Structures are given as C-alpha cells and as structure tokens.
Amino acid sequence: MNRDAAARNIQAAIVRRKDKFVLTDVHPTIDGYRATFCQGPLNVRVTIDEGTAEDVAPAGEPATKALAAVLDEVHRQFGGP
C-alpha cells in the first residue's frame, strides 16, 4: 500500500469513529508512517507502523484494534477522555 492509500484508510477510520480531529498529513518512514492530526489550532504527531496503517477494518467495524488504539491515543492527546 502506498502513502495515499494508508492516509485514506486512516481517514476512513476517523470518519467511521466520528472523531473530532482530522488527518492533515502522512509521511512514510522506514517502518511505517508519521501522521499529523489537527483539532482546531492543535496538532498531534504520531508514528503508526506499516501494518497498522495499512490494515483495513473488517466489515461493520470502525477500525482495526491496532488503529483504534492509535486513534484513542490521539484523542487523549487532544484532551479527550
């Protein structure tokens, strides 16, 4: 999968989860991606391993468990519960 496909997968998970933040940038790294998320004036950057970013959620699920854990951490960094 390429950077654009990984970004679409991450963004789709955010939309399905109805998170308030958005994915603003994805850069490939040696073993995955560096993703930047934005909520209002705040930015959060995280590293997501390749398998997590590229795994597509099963039908009916908002995200894989690994990607959901990453997005939960992003949510917490923005001050969510």
Q: Is 31 helix (H, G, I), strand (E, B) or coil?
A: coil
Phi, psi angles (nearest 5°) of residue 48:
-120, 125
Domain residues for the domain of 59 are 3-77
Cα atoms in the 13 Å half-sphere on the side-chain side of 68? 11
Which residues lie closer than 8 Å to 68 by C-beta, 6 or more apart?
Answer: 13, 17, 62
Domain count, the chain: 1
Alpha-carbon span 53 to 61, nearest angstrom: 15
From first to last of its 81 residues, the chain has per-residue pLDDT tens of 588 889 999 999 999 999 999 999 999 999 899 999 999 999 999 999 998 998 888 878 888 999 999 999 999 999 987
